[in-house]
Structure 1
Amino acid sequence: MSNGIPGARGIDHIGITVPDLDEAEAFLVGVLGAVHVYTLGAKRADDDWMQVQIGVSPRTEISEIRFYRLGNGSNLEVFEYRVPADDERQQVLVPPMNSDIGGHHLAIYVDDMDAAVEHLRSHGVEVMGEPVASKQAAEGQRWVYFKAPWGLQLELVSFPQGKAYEHSSTDVPVKLWHPAHPAE
C-alpha cells in the first residue's frame, strides 16, 4: 500500500510568474521552442479569494495566464500579476537564487548539448559558464545553466548514453524519468 497521494501520476505543470508576458512568450516560443496552447484572462476578486486560494495579498490581480507545452514533460503555466502600489508587500522584481528558500530552476533535456548552447548564445541568451560533466551516479550527464530575460534560471541537461547509476551493477528499482524515452 502506497503512502503517496492516491491516483498521483506525475507533474502536470510548473507555474512561473513573469514581469511581462509578451517578453516571456517571445523567449519561450522564439528561443526555447515552446508552443502556446491557450490563454486565460484576468482574475480579480473583491474579497479574500486571492489570499485564501493562492496565498497572495487580497487586492492582487492576475493580469493574464498563458499555458505552453515544451516537448515531452511538464506544461508551463505563466502568470503576470498586478500588485497595488500601496500594498504592504510589493511584487519582488528579482527572482530567488537557487540557494534561497523557494529557489528553483527549470531543466530542459537536449540531445546535443553543444548545439543547444550555441543556439542560446546566437539568441543573445546569458549562458552561465560552460557545460559541466557530472560525476558519481550522474556520470555521463552534462549540464549548464542559463537565464531567461527576466532572470529565471534554467538548465540544459544531456545524457544520451544514460547516467552511471543506470549502468551500475547495483540493482536500482526505479530509474529517473527520461524526456527522450517517456514510456520507459
Structure 2
Amino acid sequence: MKPKALILAAALAMSTPFAATAEMPGMRGTQHIGITVPNVDEAVEFLVDVMGCESFFSFGPFGPFDDDWMTKNLNVNPRAVINVITMVKCGNGPALEVFQYSSPDQDPSPPKNSDIGGYHIAFYVDDIHAATQYLKDNGVRVLEEPHPLTGTGLEGMEWVYFLSPWGMQMEIVSAPNGILDEEQNNRAFWSPKSDS
C-alpha cells in the first residue's frame, strides 16, 4: 500500500465503531466510579450542596496493615491507609465511591487529563447554560463557556469543564435533542436522562 492509502485506511479504521466482542459473564454496566480526594467531608459537602448528589453512608478506616495487603489488593503503598470511604449517588448514574487515603508516597496533585491515568467525571444536565451560570454563582471555577461538539458522533452535545474545590476535572454535558451517532446508527448511547 502507498503511504497515503495507509493513512486513509488507518483513519477509516479509527472512525469505524467497534461492536463488543468480549463476553464477560453477566456484565451489565458501570456500578460505581472511585475517586480519591484530600478531604471526604469537604468533597461530599460539595457534591451534595452544590452538585445535588445524595450521600448514602461512610465506612473505614482500613489499615495500616503489617503485611502487603494494600499492595496486593489495591496496588498502593503497603503502608497506605484508607481513612474513610463515603458512597454518593448523583441522579440517574453510577455511584461515586469517595476515598480519603493517607500514604507515604501520595501525590497531592490531581492528574491532568493529559496525564496517564487522567480522568474526569461528566454530569448530564438539561440546560447547560443555566447549569454553567449556577456553577459560577456558587463560586465554582468554570473553564470557558459551553462548546458544541461538531463533526463527531457526539454532534448535538454541548460541554464545558469545571474544577472541583480540590482541583479534580469535572464536566457538564447536554444533548436535549440527542446525538448524531444515535440518529445515524439507530442505537442508543447510554444517557442518564433515559433508561437507554
Structure 1 length-normalised TM? 0.91
Code of the residue aligned with 1:24 in structure 2: it is: A
Per the alignment, residue 9 of structure 1 pairs with 28
Identity across aligned pairs (percent)? 45
Superposed, 1:26-175 pairs within 5 Å as 26-44=45-63, 45-83=65-103, 87=104, 90-136=105-151, 137-168=153-184, 171-172=185-186, 174-175=187-188
Higher percent of residues as helix? 2
Per the alignment, residue 180 of structure 1 pairs with 193
Displaced runs of 4 or more, over 4 A: none
Code of the residue aligned with 1:175 in structure 2: it is: A
Count matched residues.
Answer: 175
User: C-alpha deviations, 1:151-176, integer Å up to 9, x for none?
Assistant: 110000000100122223xx34x421
Q: 1:96 to 1:5 in 2, by over 3 A?
A: same
Per the alignment, residue 8 of structure 2 pairs with none
Code of the residue aligned with 2:188 in structure 1: it is: K
CA distance in 1, matches of 2:155, 2:141: 25
CA distance in 1, matches of 2:180, 2:35: 32
CA distance in 2, matches of 1:69, 1:146: 19
User: C-alpha deviations, 1:57-85, integer Å up to 9, x for none?
Assistant: 111111000000000111000000112xx
Q: Gaps spanning 5+ residues in structure 1: where?
A: none
CA distance in 2, matches of 1:72, 1:34: 10
User: C-alpha deviations, 1:12-45, integer Å up to 9, x for none?
Assistant: 1000000011110111111101100111120002
